[in-house]
Amino acid sequence: MNATDSEILLELFLALDTPEGLRAELVEGVILVALPVDGTHCHIIDRLVGQVFDASATDMQVSEFKGLRLTSSERHPPNHVIPDATFLPAELRLLRNAPPWMEPDGLAMVVEVTSNYPQLDRTTKRICYARAGIPLYLLVDREKSQLSLFSKPHRDEYTEVHLAAFGEPLALPAPFEFELDTKDFL
């Protein structure tokens, strides 16, 4: 895809009038529209967010379904993704009048819980998040009943991954510094 095609695609994407309840994302040159999530998806996000608020070493602001504008280049089309949750240290708190699409600067972690496009969460979004330099990517894979915590981004990939089956604890590093209890994810 050349620069002109990328610009046209981005314009089309930004002009979309997505019906209420649906989410549209632009990932690696493809526009995706996702259906609303189910109750299990919401339950996992709720439990995860609650633990971060209760146990994190750093006060965090969480945003569910916050739009991120990720880096693009000649080699990579623009990406506008909507993670299930983003965690930002409270001192970098978003302003009430923040735009719908934000840069990932300062984010501590993004979270995806597999649902409509599980392979997109496992591979494509992981690469996009690493390329953007987001320090931690937590993938809650419902089909595999496991969590994957990706860390230390380098170019298009994370150089470390820590796995935990649902029911096992998963250590979250700084700035969180606590063990995530996943028993309630079963």
Asked if residues 44 and 113 have their Cβ atoms less than 8 Å apart, the reply is yes
pLDDT higher than 90, residue 134? yes
DSSP state of 181: P
Q: What percent of the chain has pLDDT over 70?
A: 95
pLDDT band at 152 (very low <50, low <70, confident <90, very high): very high
Indicate the average pLDDT of the chain. 91
156-181 pLDDT tens trace: 999 999 999 999 999 999 999 999 99
Write out the two tokens for 82. 């909507």
Rounded to an integer, what is the distance from CA 49 to the centroid of its chain? 13
pLDDT band at 30 (very low <50, low <70, confident <90, very high): confident
59-102 pLDDT tens trace: 999 988 889 999 766 677 779 999 999 999 988 776 667 788 88
pLDDT band at 1 (very low <50, low <70, confident <90, very high): low
In angstroms, rounded to a whole number, what is the distance separating the alpha carbons of residues 84 and 64? 5
pLDDT at 111: 98
pLDDT band at 117 (very low <50, low <70, confident <90, very high): confident
Architecture of domain 37-185: Alpha-Beta Complex (3.90)
pLDDT at 168: 98
pLDDT at 44: 97
Q: What is the dihedral of CA 47, 156, 116, 33, to 10 degrees?
A: 120
In angstroms, rounded to a whole number, what is the distance separating the alpha carbons of residues 154 and 81? 20
Which residue would you say has higher pLDDT here, 149 or 34? 149
3-state secondary structure of 74: coil
pTM: 0.88
